[in-house]
Amino acid sequence: MSKNKPGRIEITAQEVNHLIERGEKRSFTDQDYVIVLAVIRNYFALHDAYQEKSRTILRFLSWIFGHRTEKAKDVLKEAFGPNDTPFHRAGKEKAQRAWPKWRLLLPGCSESDGASLRLQSGGSMPPLSQRKALPLL
């Protein structure tokens, strides 16, 4: 695995449900905040593309959940440049300093109860073909 590959946070159904439960009780842990930030940032990016009526919104969806995330990232580089969104303007630098290499994975949530959360980074990741990534922006 390349040293430059970003770390990932893998989320499965059961742990997503636990995360939501902790959110409802307002009792997030430090680890939860990392995941929550990843989810909100990815949603923000989708929402921003939606607001801007961007034609790349579907490609962006594939970038978030698809397999070929690195290639798509290059394709979308211009569409989602560093100065395009209020979020980027407000806090991208700060966010990158705090969590420079995280990615969030939401594996297929076909189980009836949702998914479970598995945090991962670095070399212990399964092959890309088995993963779906929500890249951190």
Partner 1 sequence: MKHEDRITSEEIAALIERTETRALEEGDAQIITAIIKKMVEIEELYNERKITSARKLRRLIPIPRPKPSEENKPDE
Site size for partner 1, by CB under 8 A? 42
Nearest distance from residue 3's CB to partner 1, in Å? 26
Looking at residues 42 to 101 of the shown chain, list those that interact with partner 1 (rule: CB under 8 A). Answer: 42-44, 46-48, 50-51, 55, 57-58, 61-62, 65, 85-87, 90-91, 94-95, 98
For residues 62 and 72, the answer to whether their CB atoms sit within 8 Å is: yes
Give the residue with the Cβ less far from partner 1, 47 or 71.
47
Cα 55 from Cα 73, distance rounded (Å): 15
CB nearer partner 1, residue 1 or residue 20: 20
Choosing from 9, 19, 76, 136, the residue that interacts with partner 1 (CB under 8 A) is 19
Footprint on this chain of partner 1 (rule: CB under 8 A): 16, 19-20, 23-24, 26, 33, 36-37, 39-44, 46-48, 50-51, 55, 57-58, 61-62, 65, 85-87, 90-91, 94-95, 98, 106, 108-110, 114-115, 132, 134
